[in-house]
Amino acid sequence: MVPTGKKGGSPSRPRPRLPVTVRPVRASDLDEVVRQRLAVLRDMRYASAPALRRYVPRFRRWFRRELGAGRLWGVLAESAEGRAVGGGLVWLQPRPPSPRFPQQVGPYLFSVFTDPDRRGRGVATRVVRALVKTARERGYPRIELHATESGRGVYERLGFAATTQMRLTLRPARRSRRSSGAGASGGRSRGLS
Check: CB of residue 146 under 8 Å from CB of residue 191: yes
Residue 125 binds to ligand COA (criterion: CB under 6 A): yes
Member of 7, 13, 54, 95 binding ligand COA (CB under 6 A)? 13
Residue 193 binds to ligand COA (criterion: CB under 6 A): yes
- Pick out residues in 136-165 that bind ligand COA (CB under 6 A): 145, 147-148, 150-151, 153-154, 157
Nearer to ligand COA among residue 93 and residue 98 (C-beta)? 93
Residue 84 binds to ligand COA (criterion: CB under 6 A): no
Which of 188, 181, 191 shows the shortest CA–CA distance to 151? Answer: 191
Helix, strand, coil % in the chain, rounded to nearest 5 = 35, 20, 50
Which of 86, 80, 55 shows the shortest CA–CA distance to 192? Answer: 55
Residue 9 binds to ligand COA (criterion: CB under 6 A): yes
Residue 130 binds to ligand COA (criterion: CB under 6 A): no
Distance separating alpha carbons of residues 110 and 2, to the nearest angstrom? 13
Distance separating alpha carbons of residues 191 and 110, to the nearest angstrom? 9
Question: CB atoms < 10 A from the CB of 187, how many?
Answer: 13
Member of 3, 121, 140, 160 binding ligand COA (CB under 6 A)? 121
Q: Which residues bind ligand COA (CB under 6 A)?
A: 9-10, 13-15, 17, 40, 43, 86, 112-114, 119-125, 145, 147-148, 150-151, 153-154, 157, 193
